[in-house]
Structure formats: structure tokens, C-alpha cells
Amino acid sequence: MRIISSTWRSLGLFFRGSAGVIALNMTTGRVAGFVAAGVAGLAVDLIGLRLLVDAGVNELIARVVSLTLAVLTTYTLNRFFTFRSSATGAAIVREFLAYVVASVVGLIVNYALFAVVVMFTDAGPVVAALAASLAAMFLNFFSYTHLVFQERRR
């Protein structure tokens, strides 16, 4: 019983510590913008996934397409509203490529979790996508904040 209690306490300290780092590095507006962009991206992901699966596309292939649409959506929203990027010309291309590269690790984590849930549970593709997306959100936030838009912070 003590082991379980200390494990939960350690997890609580980890998450409180992580939240503290996020709070120190981000303004309230940026956090709200990131959450709003993420919710919009998640909506695009889930709606796209559902439509594709209903049209007969394999769940795993449909998720690749829906995740791609979600990344395009979140990049656009994060660029203009969350981080208010002022990049122009070739800098926009570099910024987008950095965003895509930073997203790849999050997408791999997201997709791997999705595949595991779909293959080993009866949760269904939308529930699996929701769970995987929530787990990958923290990694994406850190990547976008510290790797992509670091010079354009408000």
C-alpha cells in the first residue's frame, strides 16, 4: 500500500512540476491559444477520421489523413493567434518545416498510441484518437514553444 501511495505522490509532484514549468514559460493568452488551436485540430482530426472510416477507408489509413489535416489546422492557428509569428517569405517556409519536424515525434506517439488502442481494445477509432491526441498534446506544446516559435514569443 505504501508503494502505491508513494508512486501517486511522485506522479503528482511530476505533474505539478511540469505545470510550473509551463506556467513560467507561457503567458495565459498563449496557453489559451494553444488549447484553442489544439481543440480545433482535434475536431478536424476526429471529424475527418469519422467521415473517412464511414466512407470505407481503413481506420489506420484514415488516421494518417486526419492527422495531416489536423497539423495543417493547428499550424495555421498557432502561427497567427497563439505565437503571432511575423515570419515572411522564406522564413515562413522554414517555420512551417520546423513545425512539421517538431510535429513528427508527436504524431508518431499519437499514431502509435492510437494503433495500440484500436488493435488491443474495443474502444473504437474515435475514442482511441481522442486518448492518443490528449497524450501527445503535452509533447507538442513543449516542441512548439521551445523549438518552433521560440524567437517569436509574446
Give the whole-angstrom CA distance, residue 109 versus residue 145: 18
pLDDT digits (tens, 9 = 90+) for 32-73: 898 899 899 989 999 999 999 999 999 999 999 998 999 899
pTM of the model: 0.64
